[in-house]
Structure 1
Amino acid sequence: MSIVVTGATGHLGRFVVEGLLAAQVPAGQIAAVVRDEAKAADLAARGVEVRVADYNAPETLKGAFAAGDRVLLISGSEVGRRVEQHTAVIGAAREAGVALLAYTGILGGPDADFDLADEHKATERAILDSGLPYVFLRNGWYHENYTENLAPVLEHGAVVGSAGDGRVASASRADYAAAAVAVLTGEGEGHEGKAYELSGDTAWSLDEYAAEIARQSGKDISYARVPAEQHLAILTGAGVPEPMAAILVDVDAAIERGRLAGTSGDLARLIGRPTTPVGEAIAAALRD
């Protein structure tokens, strides 16, 4: 039996693998599923088993899993293709007879009413239909969705958005990864069949976010509230492909409706500590 992490060389996947190693899971009992074996060379050097497979090539997934494996399916990054990709993974996991399939979905699950959630909801339905033992890790927004894009904020003195007074209960990638580690290593702790609504302990507004950047950077930063149409034009003008820009604008509308503000406490309970404050993520981004 192995603990298997798909997308293991991605941002979240690497945190999960590192978390498993830090939790004293023997490296030989961890399998990293990756598209590019070279990108996992450092993990292989530490004794992690590397299994090469591609979400877009179902035939490669046949060797990705084995009977009894506990698998983390990290959602793909190709919006619009993820249902087909995830369905291929689910089929391979079912054929192999894995012991558990954990999936990183989105906060709200079937109640999420914004476009980005559609593929996650379809994936959850496919997992339920498969009959596999499952855990749904419904991740909220990541701090890094904002803090990895601080350069233009500092340059222009503005956080641009169309979320109104909406609030975001975000957490760090490391927090969400720690929750996945807790589930993957928590055999017998009652996780099977659960859906965890994962979010930060505190929901903040874009006004508060801008004020915190200003405080830490010493620059004059404000929240520039714009209508959705203008927000879309700003994003596409900055080079964001229009389909992705439309999704981001739709997410801001969801934030204004309170859809990413939930603070269930599930994340802190799973990881056994408070979630990382957004101010810490801002500080790290400014250092970088």
Structure 2
Amino acid sequence: MADFKNSALLVTGASGHFGRLAVEALLARGATKIIAGTRDPSKLADLAAKGVEVRKLDFNDKASLEAGFAGAERVLLISTDAVGSRIEQQRNAVAAAKAAGVKHIVYTSAPNPRPNPGTGVSPEHYWTEVAIAAAGLDFTFLRNHIYAEITLLGAGSAIGSGQLYDATNGGGRSYVARKDAADTAAGALLTAEGQLILDVTGPAAVTQEALATEFAKLSGKPVARVGLTTDQLRGGLVAAGLPAGMADVMVAFDIDAAGGYHAIVTDTVEQFTNRKPEALEAFLAANRGALAG
């Protein structure tokens, strides 16, 4: 296996949850030339103190992209949080990477990205993958499955009401802990070669019925899974105060789960971290305190 720990490795979005974890993983694995890109360098003073080079990097500012990518050999391109405008942002980043002479891009994508209308954020990931491939660079597309942390966001309402709503039609999800995904990305930045497309998953596909059972077990309160149609789910989300656009994104996730796209299980985490991914049951038990209800 290749070893690029002495190459100049750039992590974009390094002040975010995922980016910070990835930088910490690179440090732990002995990377010697880490560049952390962020819109606000002041947020990474602690990493700078550990020898990380911190650069201002704003995907909406082409000048900062040019300076931020200078000298980087391999890049972990973390998808931005600007849902709805990511395609242009990330195309700008890919163009800057190519102009700077970057050799390999590791991109945090999503399961089964495609340009089809009504698929939520999927087109943003699809067109970013297309831009990277068209740039003629080597790449690793890490199609990260739903983060285990997402289950904590709905735990309180599910436990409080005793009902967990979804439109997955019984489809499972191979939830992956964010740290496992970030460590995998760091491993790919350090070792991946050529052109790879990989799903990053947890160790098993978990249905919403099984998730409801876990919530009940850990909280000591009854929680039942309630299956809805996509229209019912969207209406409920909007009625609960979620913006319509975000409700569409969440419904699209459930549609993909119903289609089996979220139930894929791979050994990608183990391949790049030399350990098995954390099971959702263990993740929830470790975060029991966050299961308010």
| TM-score for the superposition, normalised by structure 2 | 0.91
Q: Report the counterpart of residue 202 of structure 2 in structure 1.
A: 200
Q: Distance in 2 between the 1:267 and 1:132 partners?
A: 23
More deviation, 167-176/229-238: 229-238
| Superposed counterparts of 1:1-288, under 5 Å | 1-26=7-32, 29-110=33-114, 114-186=119-191, 191-288=193-290
Amino acid at match of 1:181: A
Partner SS state of residue 185, structure 1: helix
User: Which shifted more, 9-18 or 229-238?
Assistant: 229-238
Per-residue deviation, residues 162-213 of structure 1 (Å, max 9, x unmatched) = 1121110111011111111111111xxx532111122112001000011011
> Counterpart of 2:108 in 1: which secondary structure?
strand
Q: Work out the number of aligned pairs and report it.
A: 283
RMSD of aligned residue pairs (Cα, Å) = 1.8
| Structure 2 CA distance for aligned equivalents of residues 103 and 93 of structure 1 | 12
Identity of aligned residues (%): 33
Shift of 1:271: 2.1
Give 5+ residue unaligned stretches, structure 1. none
- 1:215-239 Cα deviation digits (max 9, x unpaired): 1121111112222222112212222
Letter in 2 for 1:205: T
The one-letter code sitting in structure 2 at the alignment partner of 1:17 is: V
Please tell me the residue identity of whatever aligns with 1:180.
A
- 2:14 and 2:37 in contact (8 A); partners too: yes
CA 71–25 in structure 1, closer or farther in 2 if over 3 Å, else same: same
The 2-side partners of 1:277 and 1:7 are apart by 27
C-alpha distance in structure 1 between counterparts of 2:149 and 2:104, whole Å: 28
Give the residue type in structure 1 aligned to 2:269: L
Distance 2:72 2:13 in 1: 20
User: Using the alignment, how far apart are the partners of 2:107 and 2:243 within structure 1?
Assistant: 27
Distance 1:158 1:48 in 2: 46
**Contact residue 147 and residue 281 of structure 1 kept, 8 A:** no
Q: TM-score, normalised by structure 1?
A: 0.92
Q: Is the CA contact (8 Å cut-off) linking 1:150 and 1:285 kept in structure 2?
A: no
